[in-house]
């Protein structure tokens, strides 16, 4: 197997980003669920986004998607490396700032607090922002018409289906504190 430098960068970033998820998803006491907006559609869309996340691994480790490969200038791959580094960094930072308040499901536990410091002082949804950066980096690093844009295609429906409902749930839970927070922060692009 002869991996390109950009496939190696992708694999390293994939490993680092996955390590962040595994580390912060490890079992701990979260308390009882006080609000949930999780639906079957959310679960299905998480599955679609998850599959889209793994499609590049098929491209890297198997010739089954070789028919969709295309050449790209080196600067495209190096731009992807920079974007991917930013994505992984933002994913780790947002998990670290959120700590025990993170849940992959649309749920609020009785132990959850409204986090408005660190990266959350500027962006309400830095994990979504990190996944958008990851999706763009994937296009730039994986020069394949199927695997490259797979996460963009797979993540978009999840984002569109969840972000407004997540914000409504947070407003219901944290009231005026969340509404004030929402006015001074960007959803996925920072407000400085």
**Domain ranges within the chain, ordered by starting residue:** 5-184
For residues 163-171, give the mean pLDDT. 94
Residue 47 has pLDDT above 60, yes or no: yes
Q: Which residue has the higher pLDDT, 31 or 130?
A: 130
Q: Which of 109, 122, 88, 91 is nearest to 35 (CA)?
A: 109
Handedness of CA 54, 59, 61, 63 (dihedral sign): positive
- Indicate the helix (H) or strand (E) that contains 24: helix 5-25
- In percent, the amount of the chain with pLDDT more than 70 equals 97
What is the pLDDT at residue 30?
62
Q: Which 8-state DSSP code applies to residue 28? A: -
Q: Which fold does the domain 5-184 belong to in CATH?
A: 1.20.120
3-state secondary structure of 137: helix
What is the pLDDT at residue 66?
94
Q: What is the pLDDT of residues 48-95, one digit of tens each?
A: 999 999 999 999 999 999 999 999 999 999 999 999 999 999 999 999
Q: How many CB atoms sit inside 10 A of residue 18's CB?
A: 13
Residue 28 has pLDDT above 60, yes or no: no
Q: Which of 129, 136, 122, 119 is nearest to 83 (CA)?
A: 136
Name 168's Cβ contacts closer than 8 Å, sequence gap at least 6: 37
d(CA 171, CA 122): 17
Residue 44 pLDDT grade (very low, low, confident, very high; cuts 50, 70, 90): very high
Residue 96 has pLDDT above 70, yes or no: yes
Q: Which residue has the higher pLDDT, 100 or 129?
A: 129
Range in 30-44, 58-72, 147-161 the model is least confident about? 30-44
What is the pLDDT at residue 149?
97
Q: What is the DSSP annotation of 54-105?
A: HHHHHHHH-GGGGGGB----HHHHHHHHHHHHHHHHHHHHHHHHHGGG--SS
What is the pLDDT at residue 21?
85
Q: How many CB atoms sit inside 10 A of residue 156's CB?
A: 16
In the chain, how long is the greatest CA-to-CA distance?
Answer: 56
Q: Which of 13, 21, 185 is nearest to 96 (CA)?
A: 21
Residue 37 pLDDT grade (very low, low, confident, very high; cuts 50, 70, 90): confident
């Amino acid at each position: 197997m002869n991996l390109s430098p950009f496939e190696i960068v992708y694999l390293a970033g994939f490993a680092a980003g996955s390590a962040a998820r595994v580390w912060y998803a490890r079992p701990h006491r979260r308390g009882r669920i006080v609000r949930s907006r999780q639906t079957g559609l959310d679960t299905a869309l998480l599955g679609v986004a998850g599959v889209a996340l793994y499609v590049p691994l098929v491209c890297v480790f198997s010739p089954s998607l070789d028919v969709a490969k295309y050449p790209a200038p080196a600067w495209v791959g190096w731009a992807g490396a920079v974007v991917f580094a930013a994505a992984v960094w933002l994913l780790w930072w947002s998990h670290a700032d959120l700590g025990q308040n993170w849940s992959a499901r649309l749920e609020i536990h009785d132990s959850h607090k409204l986090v408005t410091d660190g990266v959350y002082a500027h962006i309400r949804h830095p994990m979504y922002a990190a996944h958008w950066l990851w999706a763009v980096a994937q296009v730039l690093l994986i020069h394949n018409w199927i695997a490259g844009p797979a996460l963009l295609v797979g993540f978009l429906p999840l984002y569109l289906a969840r972000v407004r409902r997540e914000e409504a749930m947070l407003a219901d839970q944290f009231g005026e504190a969340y509404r004030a927070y929402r006015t001074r922060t960007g959803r996925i692009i920072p407000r400085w």
